[in-house]
């Protein structure tokens, strides 16, 4: 088993090296602008390793969960095209909706009695996809946060054996390879839309699978740290009547990177370490899923702490006046 995973790791590493050279040759790069949190031209689309790992897993395990894999491939192809060209927002949204529908079909979501919850599920899923897409601007954040999620899921699977261990491990190997190129002060590659959106797709797939087995909404705490930053920032922008579909630099981690000039690697480590602490204390160590009262308390405390940190920084650096 160890040898087979080593072969997968080396295959993904070779694929990453080949893609890096090809992307530089064909100009698949991210050029910094006024909304960016980086200052160098960097290869984009390195997250192609994530859907590649899923396809490797699918082919080597007798083609299971084909609808999910097809949804992943569809959403990844369109995201990769968007990395190379500027695709229509409506087209991207439509493909994301279709890809998610294929994953939900694979999980049997449409056979559930609570059909009225489908609009909520799609709204949350599309929100997660677009929120995680913002992560890519901070070196290491997408990879480390994904690594914490997948690693924690492996631990949860010990007492709640509903996930495919091998699929999670293939994704972990892909993330580790990607971090070789990305988790550094001057990143060699960004995940791009293909990486962040495909990783978000798999996160949603696992969370929905978990919810169907547990019926516990509190599993959203698995995304608490970055989720709080994304949701509170989103609400703040709505209150300010900003166009929430446009890029911005008002997440807390973006303020750390851009206004406070903190190192990207440090920011990624802090966010990921905090999320791992949450997962360990609430899910892994007690080997259970937190109840609603505990979850609501954690959400309230997190929101208050977040605002206590962010609001003084917003005022100090005049974030919304630039």
Residue 249: pLDDT band (50, 70, 90) is confident
Q: Which pLDDT score, from 0 to 100, does residue 196 have? A: 95
Tokens at residue 319, please? 């974030």
Residue 130: pLDDT band (50, 70, 90) is confident
As a whole number, mean pLDDT of residues 148-177 equals: 97
Distance CA 57, CA 61 (A): 6
Distance CA 123, CA 259 (A): 32
Cα dist. 284→65, 186, 278, 280, 287 in Å?
27, 34, 9, 5, 5
Distance CA 137, CA 27 (A): 19
Instruction: Return contacts of 292-295, CB within 8 angstroms, 24+ apart.
Output: 292/217, 292/218, 294/218, 295/217, 295/218, 295/220, 295/221
Residue 38: pLDDT band (50, 70, 90) is low
Q: Which pLDDT score, from 0 to 100, does residue 33 have? A: 57
Would the pLDDT of 321 be above 80? no
CB 72 within 8 A of CB 201: yes
Q: Which pLDDT score, from 0 to 100, does residue 37 have? A: 52
Buried b (16+ CB within 10 A) or exposed e, 113-136: eeeeeeeebeeebbebbbbbbbbb
Tokens at residue 76, please? 């990844």
Residue 109 is classified by DSSP as: G
CB 8 within 8 A of CB 173: yes
Q: Which pLDDT score, from 0 to 100, does residue 218 have? A: 97
Range list of H helices, the chain: 2-26, 49-60, 66-84, 89-107, 118-134, 141-159, 165-182, 192-214, 224-239, 252-258, 264-279, 292-317
Tokens at residue 214, please? 């547990």
Q: Which pLDDT score, from 0 to 100, does residue 34 have? A: 53
Tokens at residue 44, please? 């984009």
Which distant-in-sequence residues (6+ apart) come within 8 Å of 305 by Cβ? none
Tokens at residue 3, please? 């040898």
As a whole number, mean pLDDT of residues 129-155 equals: 91
Distance CA 109, CA 116 (A): 12
Distance CA 81, CA 26 (A): 13
Q: Which pLDDT score, from 0 to 100, does residue 35 have? A: 53
Question: Mean pLDDT, the chain, as a whole number?
Answer: 92
Can you give the pTM of this predicted structure? Answer: 0.94
Percent of the chain predicted with pLDDT > 70: 97
Tokens at residue 121, please? 């599920």
CB 184 within 8 A of CB 79: no
Residue 161 main-chain phi, psi, to 5 deg = -75, 75
Per-residue pLDDT of 74-120, as tens digits, reads 999 999 999 888 888 899 999 999 999 999 999 999 999 888 899 99
Distance CA 90, CA 94 (A): 6
Per-residue pLDDT of 222-243, as tens digits, reads 999 999 999 999 898 888 888 8
Residue 39: pLDDT band (50, 70, 90) is low
């Amino acid at each position: 088993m160890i040898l087979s995973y080593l072969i997968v790791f080396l295959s993904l590493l070779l694929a990453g090296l080949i893609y890096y050279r090809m992307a530089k040759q064909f100009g698949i790069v991210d050029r910094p602008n006024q909304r960016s949190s980086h200052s160098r031209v960097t290869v984009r689309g390195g997250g192609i390793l994530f859907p590649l790992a899923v396809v490797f897993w699918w082919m080597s395990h007798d083609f299971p969960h084909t609808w999910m894999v097809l949804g992943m491939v569809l959403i990844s192809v369109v995201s990769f095209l968007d990395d190379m060209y500027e695709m229509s927002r409506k087209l991207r949204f439509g493909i994301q909706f279709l890809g998610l529908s294929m994953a939900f079909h694979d999980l049997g979501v449409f056979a559930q009695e609570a059909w009225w919850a489908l609009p909520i599920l799609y709204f949350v899923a599309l929100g997660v996809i677009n929120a995680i897409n913002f992560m890519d601007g901070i070196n290491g954040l997408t990879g480390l946060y994904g690594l914490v999620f997948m690693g924690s899921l492996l631990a949860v699977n010990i007492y709640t054996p509903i996930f495919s261990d091998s699929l999670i491990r293939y994704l972990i190997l892909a993330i580790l390879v990607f971090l070789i190129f990305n988790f550094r002060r001057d990143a060699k590659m960004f995940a791009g839309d293909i990486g962040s959106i495909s990783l978000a797709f798999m996160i949603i797939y696992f969370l929905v699978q978990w919810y169907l087995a547990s019926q516990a909404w509190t599993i959203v705490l698995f995304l608490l740290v970055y989720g709080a930053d994304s949701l509170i920032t989103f609400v703040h922008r709505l209150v300010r009547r900003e166009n929430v579909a446009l890029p911005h630099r008002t997440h807390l981690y973006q303020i750390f990177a851009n206004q406070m000039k903190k190192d990207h690697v440090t920011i990624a480590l802090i966010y990921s370490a905090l999320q791992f602490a949450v997962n360990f204390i609430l899910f892994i160590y007690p080997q259970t899923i937190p109840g609603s009262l505990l979850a609501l308390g954690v959400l309230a405390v997190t929101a208050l702490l977040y605002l206590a940190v962010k609001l003084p920084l917003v005022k100090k650096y005049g974030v919304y006046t630039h």
